[in-house]
Structure 1
Amino acid sequence: MYTKQDLLDHLKELGIDENGTLLVHSSMKSIGEVEGGADTVLDALIEYMKNGLLVFPTHTWSYIKSENPRFDVMDSPSCVGLLTELFRKRPGVIRSWHPTHSVAALGKGASDFVAGNEQFDTPCARGSSWGKLLDHKASILLIGVDLRRCTYIHGVEEWLDIPGRLTDEHEMLYTILPDNTEISVPQRRHIGHTSEKYGRVEDVFLHNDAMYKGHFGDATVRVCDTEKMTDLLTHLLKEDPELFS
């Protein structure tokens, strides 16, 4: 059974920049038995990143859609895992206002990081938190999940305007703000299941030092460098826009 100290040691061994920005995609089950369960995992990540910025996706794309168009910033649950749902409820955590691809952040510059996502009509716009990851030269930690769960790659596809990734038409969605004000946030949606093909670039990432592997508890983890990933993906997708088709 892993303790919080074990997990802190694993993060240090992984070489995560404790003063930087870290986005975490996660499978709690993959970590194995932890004393105190999921809350201890969050305690370890929060303590390790106390001088930096810790970010989790808190997506709602699976159920916020035309037939259920209202995203409540305070109450709509995350659809991408236990840790994300527990994290968004932690004291001091701030959630962005995007109706389908929100993030939650804690730490240095969290308010600025999540601000303005509701101004964009796509899931991962360059000016949104997904683009700010690149501005921050962030790391992405994939705990027990692979590149198929790396939303950031969707962002790079958007920024390069890869054909066939987004609907042409908008779906009218709404965000209910913390003060119960409701705003309209029309959205173009992702098309298809291109993320299931993101594993095609795993070896390229590994061989070019855009990603390396390690462990966190029992989980195999991938640590990704957003700058290097973006450079490689830009080159690959300009050569072959159908790479993930």
Structure 2
Amino acid sequence: MTDEHHPRREWSREEVADQLRALGVKEGGVLLVHTAFRALRPIHGGPGGLIDALRMAIGPRGTLVMPSWTGSDEEPFDPAATPASDDLGVVAETFRQLPGIVRSDHPFAFAAIGPHARRVTDTPLPLPPHVPDSPVGRVHDLDGQVLLLGVNHDADTTLHLAELIADVPYRLPKHITVWRDGGPVQIPYGENDHCCQGFDLADGWLREAGMQTEGPVANGVGRLIRSRDIVRVATERLAGDPLVFLHAPDANCEECDEARASIRA
């Protein structure tokens, strides 16, 4: 444990880039990143230094992608000004403000930079948010990699894509606010939502199948997986049990109980 006698060391951008390459990040590839910077810090340059290291690892022909959706269901989304949700962390918010970044023009936004940035982000409003024709679906189509830095699969949006491909039966009523005809309009939709803690099951599935590489990144741990492998493994499990990601009814998980109730409804 880090304390005043054993402080975390600061890592350089170059060192972190080398770690990412050792993990298997492909030069010239499409890389979707979910991260909690507090698990990795300190890195020279802060969150911007980590972004630099990621771009060094994928090279100039690579495309870097991060989630960038809004934290509000009520406020209309402005891709140039609306902050990324606090839940996405400081790296995602830093990334979406950088010069040259392309961001989706809908509230379920992703941000990207690189040759495939517009192909990833330029999608119609996806309802539910992670349908195949969504940014996370485009990463899958491009055979991109998913990198989890300091987080586990409970932050892995590609598993929501897998749920929709597998046609899970739960949908919770939601709404999002967009600008239409000069004013804010609420659009209702049904989302395959739950607490997402069950997504951590994918960690064991992918490791057992030899589809996930893990290793140190700065002061934390990175997990790297092909998007298509995540979807393949998850849809196979969902075919056997469409509710595999939900807590059992006796677990007293309100969000998973709501998902189960939506099936009955």
Task: Establish whether TM, by shorter chain, passes 0.5.
Answer: yes
CA displacement at 1:126 relative to structure 2: 0.7
After superposition, residues 4-153 of structure 1 pair within 5 angstroms as 4-49=13-58, 50-60=60-70, 63-65=71-73, 68-79=74-85, 80-99=88-107, 101-118=108-125, 120-153=126-159
Distance change in 2, residues 1:187/1:160 (3 Å): farther
For structure 2, the residue ranges without an aligned partner over 5 or more in a row are 1-9, 247-265
Aligned to 1:173: 177
Distance change in 2, residues 1:155/1:195 (3 Å): same
For structure 1, the residue ranges without an aligned partner over 5 or more in a row are none
Matched position secondary structure for 1:117: coil
Give CA deviations for 1:89-116 in whole Å, capped at 9, x if unaligned: 11110001221x2100000121122112
Letter paired with 1:128? S
RMSD across aligned C-alpha pairs, in angstroms? Answer: 2.1
CA displacement at 1:144 relative to structure 2: 0.3
Question: How many Å separate the matches in 2 of 1:16 and 1:191?
Answer: 30
CA displacement at 1:72 relative to structure 2: 1.3
After superposition, residues 217-232 of structure 1 pair within 5 angstroms as 217-232=218-233
Question: How many Å separate the matches in 2 of 1:128 and 1:183?
Answer: 22
Matched residues, number: 234
Give CA deviations for 1:19-41 in whole Å, capped at 9, x if unaligned: 11000000111112222211111
CA displacement at 1:229 relative to structure 2: 1.5
Question: How many Å separate the matches in 2 of 1:191 and 1:136?
Answer: 24
Contact 1:125-1:155 at 8 Å conserved across structures: yes
Question: How many Å separate the matches in 2 of 1:183 and 1:106?
Answer: 29
Larger Rg: 2
TM-score by length of 2: 0.82
Give CA deviations for 1:139-163 in whole Å, capped at 9, x if unaligned: 1000000000001101111222201
Letter paired with 1:87? F
Q: Calculate percent identity across the aligned residue pairs.
A: 26
Letter paired with 1:174? V
Contact 1:213-1:223 at 8 Å conserved across structures: yes
After superposition, residues 131-210 of structure 1 pair within 5 angstroms as 131-167=137-173, 171-175=175-179, 186-190=187-191, 192-210=193-211
